[in-house]
Chains A and B, each alone.
Chain A
Amino acid sequence: MADEALFLLLHNEMVSGVYKSAEQGEVVSAAKALEENGRCITKLENMGFRVGQGLIERFTKDTARFKDELDIMKFICKDFWTTVFKKQIDNLRTNHQGIYVLQDNKFRLLTQMSAGKQYLEHASKYLAFTCGLIRGGLSNLGIKSIVTAEVSSMPACKFQVMIQKL
């Protein structure tokens, strides 16, 4: 089934929809614009969070209990990522103190964009939803975290997961 295209297009519309509705409020100063950008990112992140929660619940209903935190992260990198983005995370690193870095060398939501530096500043819009997705998934598995993303060269990107100890 070709529903992948449908998801990609829907995601694009979500991003542009959120940003357009923010623009209507006509921003003047640079500080305001930055604040507005933050609000949009939060919105997208929250949508991702909800979806992540739902997905992980459906997805883990027949899997065995996870051994530990690392086991959960591996699950996110392999099974979860494959379902959502049709490939695995290319590299997972950790400092064993609650920080994980997930590197995807060809992130699906960025592959449609020009690979040069031109749109680098816009990349964060297209990562917010996925940050939420990871955070939501982890949250339903009992791990509270903060997820951020960074891009240095398209379409590769890194997600940093900081586990919040309870």
Chain B
Amino acid sequence: MSRQANRGTESKKMSSELFTLTYGALVTQLCKDYENDEDVNKQLDKMGYNIGVRLIEDFLARSNVGRCHDFRETADVIAKVAFKMYLGITPSITNWSPAGDEFSLILENNPLVDFVELPDNHSSLIYSNLLCGVLRGALEMVQMAVEAKFVQDTLKGDGVTEIRMRFIRRIEDNLPAGEE
């Protein structure tokens, strides 16, 4: 009876599984193509950056959020709007640095690692490193240079997944590189 009603949520879950599985296949392929994990991490970050640069446009068009006044507001938008919209989760924001230029995103469950176990020989692989690249790329397009990195990861046995974000500077003029 409830089958029809279930379809909606079911297919929503399915399409996020499509992303999770596709990402898994990609990481597997990269691990085959590159010899060491550092190169894979770098490649994932680069791909994430390219995604972020384009994703921000989709995000701004869809979300209708305006300009952020400070980094705290940016953090809120990232966690409560962006993560919710694209991954269906809402990470919590903690560990603000006294200067207010660093914070942590705590992901209770990370949809990217739903079906993942890291084999022993890939201990330095940062499986979800794509996310860092996405954050960096997206924020760069709104004139914010940031650094994002994983400091805790459930795949490595930590209790939660934590992404540390650090504000570096505002990008003032955005002339394309090489054009003066």
Task: Say whether B11 faces chain A, with CB atoms less than 8 Å apart.
Answer: yes
Query: Mask for A33-52, Cβ within 8 A of B = 1, else 0?
Result: 00000000001001110110
Do A55 and B26 contact each other (CB < 8 Å), given the known contacts A1-B86, A2-B86, A3-B86? no
Contact indicator B14/A58 (Cβ below 8 Å): yes
Which residues from 71 to 106 on chain B have a C-beta closer than 8 Å to any C-beta of chain A? 85-88
Cα distance A46–B14 when bound, in Å? 20
Contact indicator A47/B86 (Cβ below 8 Å): no
Binds B, one of A5-13, A89-97, A118-126, A157-165: A5-13
User: Shortest Cβ distance from A111 into chain B, in angstroms?
Assistant: 14
Interface of chain B, main secondary structure:
helix
Contact indicator A1/B88 (Cβ below 8 Å): yes
Contact indicator A50/B21 (Cβ below 8 Å): yes
Task: Say whether A82 faces chain B, with CB atoms less than 8 Å apart.
Answer: yes
Contact indicator B19/A3 (Cβ below 8 Å): yes
Contact indicator B17/A58 (Cβ below 8 Å): yes
**Chain A residues near B115 (CB-CB < 8 A):** 54
Task: Say whether B160 faces chain A, with CB atoms less than 8 Å apart.
Answer: no
Quick one: closest A residue to B30, CB to CB? A17
**Chain B residues near A82 (CB-CB < 8 A):** 11
Task: Say whether B180 faces chain A, with CB atoms less than 8 Å apart.
Answer: no
**Chain B residues near A18 (CB-CB < 8 A):** 29
**Chain B residues near A10 (CB-CB < 8 A):** 19, 22-23, 26, 47, 51
Do A84 and B26 contact each other (CB < 8 Å), given the known contacts A1-B12, A1-B86, A6-B86? no
Contact indicator A7/B29 (Cβ below 8 Å): no
**Chain A residues near B47 (CB-CB < 8 A):** 10, 13-14, 17
Binds A, one of B54-62, B118-126, B144-152, B167-175: B54-62
Quick one: closest A residue to B14, CB to CB? A83
User: Shortest Cβ distance from B20 into chain A, in angstroms?
Assistant: 9
Cα distance A9–B26 when bound, in Å? 13
A-B contact pairs, 15 of them (CB 8 A): A1-B12, A2-B86, A3-B15, A6-B86, A6-B87, A7-B15, A7-B19, A9-B54, A17-B43, A47-B25, A47-B29, A51-B21, A54-B24, A55-B14, A84-B18
Q: A9-B50, A14-B26, A83-B18 are in contact. List 14 more A-B contacts (CB 8 A).
A: A1-B15, A1-B88, A2-B86, A7-B22, A9-B51, A9-B54, A10-B19, A10-B22, A10-B51, A17-B30, A17-B43, A17-B47, A51-B24, A83-B11
The 10 closest A-B pairs by CB, nearest first: A47-B25, A13-B47, A9-B51, A51-B21, A54-B21, A5-B58, A50-B25, A83-B14, A7-B19, A2-B85
